[in-house]
Amino acid sequence: MTSVKIKNLTKRYGKTIAVENVNLEIKDGELFILLGPSGCGKTTTLLCIAGLINPDEGEVWFGDDMITCAEHNKFERPQERNVAMVFQDYAIYPHMTVFKNIAFPLEVRKKHKHEIETRVKEVAERLGISELLERKPKQLSGGQRQRVALARAIVREPKVFLMDEPLSNLDAKLRVYARAELKRLHKRLGVTIVYVTHDQLEAMSIGDRIAILNNGFLEQIDTPENIYNSPKNIFVAGFIGSPPMNMLDGTLIEKDGKLFVDLGFSTYELSNRFDKLKKIKSTEVILGIRPEDISISKENIKNSIKAKVDIIELMGRELSIHHRVNENTIIAITKPTEDLEIGDELYLVFVNEKIHVFDKNTEENLITKNS
């Protein structure tokens, strides 16, 4: 087990930039998530850690060992790195039995036959695939293949586990189960895992920390809670959370010593939590509020926004209500007990502590930036 450090990693394909100047420090024993939309550079970063592609610039360190340094043209080959990888399509060798698949990394390392057998059986036992050992991959279900891929990675006892969307080929129900199982396995083994996914829900539920990438740039690294509660910028705020955060264009204005956001159709008063924004008044901002941080009132309460119910979606335990406010749509999530009908006029109240204010030009979160 080891920590992983990435310094100034850059990879280009011709003129397109896959990853630009990414810095990461992954702690020993951490389940670290690389999250982002497709093409954001998360898989490229993972492959650079694996040594399957060589970066144009930057360094990769495992603990105190520098295994990649583009500047000195040092690229340790994947087979020398002692990393194990689980691939999106599992990459199970189709011509080998499950036993042979799991044994392959040990055989290649010329381990003793007896040792190979004990270890393969041990790992198979642990993942509950002991009865499948003599089967061929063709005879396995998706979930079973995923476990075989996992077993092949675990049997090596590598320094670092790399996982490239390992659950994305499972059906929705199985995925939730596999997620929990993976989390449990990580706890028990205490290994370092670098995990790539585009699914924010998956990232939030299993990650110790998350790095969010976009267009090759690192947007934010933090724990799931912090990323959710204090997104660093508009991209992160919009990417995390479902339904996504409501974003309203506005202007900061100060009147009678108080701070307001002029939304055009309405003016919203900000609490004194935002007082530090006074020095940057009159800038264009975006006011962000998550759907679950909006409450609904039928009476006109002070500092609320008048809205009209447009769509009501029942989402199991809760309702997702789309409101029309002038040209904008604001989504709120409420208990299904509310007695609402389409066309109803009502008032939206934002939970004050949960309001985010972003600079419209730099897209940065103005509160976290100035704290």
Partner 1 sequence: MRFLRFKRVILYILLIFFVIVTLLPLWAGIMTAFKTEADLIYTTPLEPPSSPTTEPLEKTFIIMQRPLQNSLIFTSVATILSCFLGSIAGYTLTKIKFKGSNTVFLGLIIGIFIPYQAVLVPLVMTMVSWGLYNTVWGLILTHTVYGIPICTLLFRSFYVGIPDSLINAAKTDGAGTWIIYRRIILPLSLMPFVVASVFQFTNIWNDFLFGLVLSRGTEAMPASVALANLKGGFVAMWNLQMAGTLWYTLPALIVYLILGKYLIKGFMTGAVKG
Partner 2 sequence: MKRKRISRKIFTKDRIIIQFIFLISVLLVGYFVYIGIGWNVVVSLSDWEGLVPSYNIVGFDQYIKLLGDPIFFTSLMNNILLMLIFVPCTLFLGLFLAILLDQKVRKESVFRTIYLLPFTLSFVVTGFLWRWMYNPSMGVINTLLETIGLELLKSGWITDPNMAMFCVIISLIWQFAGYAMLIFLAGIRSIPESHIMAAEVDGASGFQLYKRVIIPQIKASTFTAFVILMVFALKAFDFIYILTGGGPAGWATEILPLTMYKETFAMTHFAYGSTIATVLFLLVMAIVIPYLYSTYRRK
Residues that bind partner 1 (CB under 8 A): 47, 50-52, 77-79, 81, 83-85, 87-89, 91, 93-96, 104-105, 108-109, 152, 156, 162
Please report how close the Cβ of residue 73 comes to partner 2 at its closest, in angstroms.
6
Cβ-Cβ contacts under 8 Å for 174 (sequence gap 6 or more): 142, 143
- Tell me which residues in 41-60 interact with partner 2 (CB under 8 A): 54
Selected from 75, 217, 265, 347, the binder of partner 2 by CB under 8 A is 75
Nearer to partner 2, 54 or 334 (CB): 54
Nearer to partner 2, 66 or 312 (CB): 66
Q: Is 109 in the site for partner 2 (CB under 8 A)?
A: no
Please report how close the Cβ of residue 54 comes to partner 2 at its closest, in angstroms.
7
Give which of partner 1, partner 2, none residue 280 binds (C-beta under 5 to 8 Å, depending on kind).
none
Nearer to partner 2, 53 or 285 (CB): 53
DSSP string, 156-213: T--SEEEEESTTTTS-HHHHHHHHHHHHHHHHHH--EEEEEES-HHHHHHH-SEEEEE
Please report how close the Cβ of residue 21 comes to partner 2 at its closest, in angstroms.
19
Site string for partner 2, 8-37 (x = CB under 8 A): ------------------------------
Please report how close the Cβ of residue 79 comes to partner 2 at its closest, in angstroms.
8
* Pairing between β-strand 31-35 and β-strand 209-214 as defined by DSSP bridges: parallel
CA distance 135 to 101: 10
CA distance 103 to 105: 6
Sign of the C-alpha dihedral computed for residues 167, 171, 174 and 175 taken in this order: positive
If phi over 0 gives left and psi between -120 and 50 gives alpha, with beta otherwise, what is residue 62?
beta
Q: Is 73 in the site for partner 2 (CB under 8 A)?
A: yes
CA distance 270 to 258: 8
CA distance 130 to 247: 51
Of the candidate spans 72-80, 109-117, 219-227, 312-320, the one that interacts with partner 2 by CB under 8 A turns out to be: 72-80
Please report how close the Cβ of residue 18 comes to partner 1 at its closest, in angstroms.
16
Reduce the DSSP state of residue 12 to 3 states and report it. Answer: strand
- Give CA torsion, residues 31, 192, 2, 46, to 10 deg: -80
Cβ-Cβ contacts under 8 Å for 327 (sequence gap 6 or more): none
Question: H-type helices in 190-305, by residue range?
Answer: 200-206, 224-229, 234-239
Nearer to partner 2, 28 or 56 (CB): 56
Nearer to partner 1, 119 or 156 (CB): 156
Omega before 166 cis (within 30°)?
A: no
Give which of partner 1, partner 2, none residue 217 binds (C-beta under 5 to 8 Å, depending on kind).
none
Q: Is 77 in the site for partner 2 (CB under 8 A)?
A: yes
Q: Is 82 in the site for partner 2 (CB under 8 A)?
A: no
Of the candidate spans 69-77, 302-310, 331-339, 349-357, the one that interacts with partner 2 by CB under 8 A turns out to be: 69-77
Q: Is 78 in the site for partner 2 (CB under 8 A)?
A: no
CA distance 46 to 53: 9
